[in-house]
Amino acid sequence: MPDLTSNTGGIVSPNPFWLASAPPANSGGQVQRAFDAGWGGAVWKTLGTPIQNVSSRFGATRWKGASGVGFNNIELITDRPLETNFREIYETKKKYPKHAIIVSLMVETREEWKEIIARSEDAGADGLELNFGCPHGMCERGMGSAVGQEPKVNERITGWAKEFAKVPVLVKLTPNVGDIVPHGLAAQRGGADGVSLINTIKSIIGVDIDRFVPEPRVAGLSTNGGYCGAAVRPIALHMTAALSRDPGFHLPISGIGGITNWRDALEFILLGSSSVQVCTEVMLRGYRIVEDMIEGLETYMSERGFERLDQLVGKAVPAYSEWGDLDLNYETVAKIDASACIGCQLCMVACHDGAHQCIHPNPDGSRVPTIDEDECVGCNLCQIVCPVPQCISMVQVPNGYTPATWNEHVEAGAQLRPKKGAH
């Protein structure tokens, strides 16, 4: 059996799967049930001065019959008394000494940070996560993303936390910035032991078209919320990778955003996450989803001969490069497996209207389209719309040109193959 033990900046957990700081990690009873189900760690629902929440709080993207592809919330940090939270953290840690409990925090003044850090550590926290990410409500009060969007403030508060904390400190970054890297670097300068990302993305999930009010509706009004769930995964993957490959950034990462199964989690790990956190999919389907995450990852590792998780962390990062370093002479064309094709001709309309007009009706009258390979630019669109797995494949065609990138072309006059489809 491969070893799934994960280490994120000194926070060790039996596997890399943590609950993100959110409703599923709101109380001791919940976190304990999650640990029983197999979760390796939990980031406790953010603690600070307890707030009062609105009703309702959530909205979801409905898309082609599936609800919750994207998810949005306007709830704030914990609304439960701090004493209760700390007592439950203590009890949970005592019962589950091997699991990681990370306490998420959000307060304002240096004194408040000092006090809440001391109390978290007294309760047994294995680590702290500074919530510099909440994009609604809390930022109006000068906290959350209001901190995360200002590198200087981020660095200063991270510095305070490191001054007071004995356990590792993770900084949770907000995706509501143009470029994530300066914010990761600010946390690093402040002395953080790692970063977590992403928190939610500022969003309006929908509009009630009968009442003319955005959703979720609170009486007659609404407000912008935080977007998360499967739909945000590409954004989170990019931000994770952007930090991972930055030569100046060296902190471990806890990856978050749209993880629903083992494969999603693995993608974060391959782009540099030492652990991963999940909120929305747990909210939608329960703690039990972790069984498949653990088992799927273990199977993947055993089948490929990986023994430890760290052998996977960041394994795909070196292959994330600049556009200018991609090989312009690498040529692929689409090929249709006629025996698999069901004749929907979605590839044809996609190519015709959305790409390069090189998929045509079959002259023999069958519904299996033909591809004009001289015109095909290898864009993948047809493969994406094809409903049959493995029916359309993108096949490399040798063209006699040696690999050449745009940068090599500009700098050294490397020869590029003639453009295709650019009439």
Ligand X SMILES: Cc1cc2nc3c(=O)[nH]c(=O)nc-3n(C[C@H](O)[C@H](O)[C@H](O)COP(=O)(O)O)c2cc1C
Classify burial at 319, counting beta carbons within 10 Å of its beta carbon; exposed 0-12, middle 13-18, buried 19 or more: exposed
| Active-site option among 134, 351, 382, 386 | 134
Length of the chain: 423
For residue 224, give the amino acid letter.
N
* Separation between Cα atoms, residue 356 and residue 368, nearest integer Å: 18
369 scored as a contact of ligand SF4 (CB under 6 A): yes
Q: How far is the CB of 304 from another protein (least distance, A)?
A: 13
256 scored as a contact of ligand SF4 (CB under 6 A): no
40, 41, 190, 229: residue in contact with ligand X (rule CB under 6 A): 229
38, 40, 127, 133: residue in contact with ligand X (rule CB under 6 A): 133
Phi-psi region of 65 (alpha: psi -120 to 50; beta: other; left: phi over 0): left
* Separation between Cα atoms, residue 129 and residue 126, nearest integer Å: 10
- Per partner kind, with CB cut-offs from 5 to 8 A, the member of ligand X, ligand SF4, another protein, none near residue 369 is ligand SF4
Q: How far is the CB of 55 from ligand SF4 (least distance, A)?
A: 9
C-beta atoms surrounding 10 within 10 Å? 14
16, 28, 34, 45: residue in contact with ligand X (rule CB under 6 A): 45
130 scored as a contact of ligand X (CB under 6 A): no
* Separation between Cα atoms, residue 195 and residue 268, nearest integer Å: 13
Two structure tokens written together for 116: 């809440």
Instruction: Please report which helix (H) or strand (E) contains residue 275, including its range.
Output: strand 273-278
- Per partner kind, with CB cut-offs from 5 to 8 A, the member of ligand X, another protein, ligand SF4, none near residue 343 is ligand SF4
* Separation between Cα atoms, residue 42 and residue 26, nearest integer Å: 10
CB contact burial 382-400 (16+ within 10 A = b; e otherwise): bbebbeeeebbeeeeeeee
* 170 beta partners: 129, 194
138, 294, 341, 379: residue in contact with ligand SF4 (rule CB under 6 A): 341
Q: How far is the CB of 256 from ligand SF4 (least distance, A)?
A: 23
Classify burial at 5, counting beta carbons within 10 Å of its beta carbon; exposed 0-12, middle 13-18, buried 19 or more: middle
- The contacts of residue 349 (CB under 8 Å, 6+ apart) are none
Binders in 381-420 for ligand SF4, by CB under 6 A: 385-386, 388, 391-392
Q: How far is the CB of 248 from ligand SF4 (least distance, A)?
A: 44
C-beta atoms surrounding 155 within 10 Å? 19
- Per partner kind, with CB cut-offs from 5 to 8 A, the member of ligand X, ligand SF4, another protein, none near residue 292 is another protein
Measured from the CB atom, is 207 or 338 closer to ligand SF4?
338
Measured from the CB atom, is 79 or 295 closer to another protein?
295
Annotation marks residue 134 as catalytic: yes
Q: Are 239 and 233 in contact (CB under 8 A)?
A: no
- Per partner kind, with CB cut-offs from 5 to 8 A, the member of ligand SF4, ligand X, another protein, none near residue 137 is none
Measured from the CB atom, is 163 or 291 closer to another protein?
291
- Per partner kind, with CB cut-offs from 5 to 8 A, the member of ligand SF4, ligand X, another protein, none near residue 341 is ligand SF4
Residue 328: alpha-carbon gap to chain centroid:
30
- The contacts of residue 414 (CB under 8 Å, 6+ apart) are 402, 404, 405, 408
- For binding to another protein (CB under 8 A), which residues are involved? 261-263, 285-286, 288-289, 291-292, 295-296, 299, 388-389
Measured from the CB atom, is 60 or 355 closer to ligand X?
60
Contacting positions for ligand SF4 (CB under 6 A): 336, 341-347, 369, 385-386, 388, 391-392
Contacting positions for ligand X (CB under 6 A): 20-23, 45-46, 71, 73, 75, 77, 104, 131, 133-134, 172, 199-200, 226, 228-229, 232, 256-259, 278-280
Q: Among all residues, which ones are annotated catalytic?
A: 134
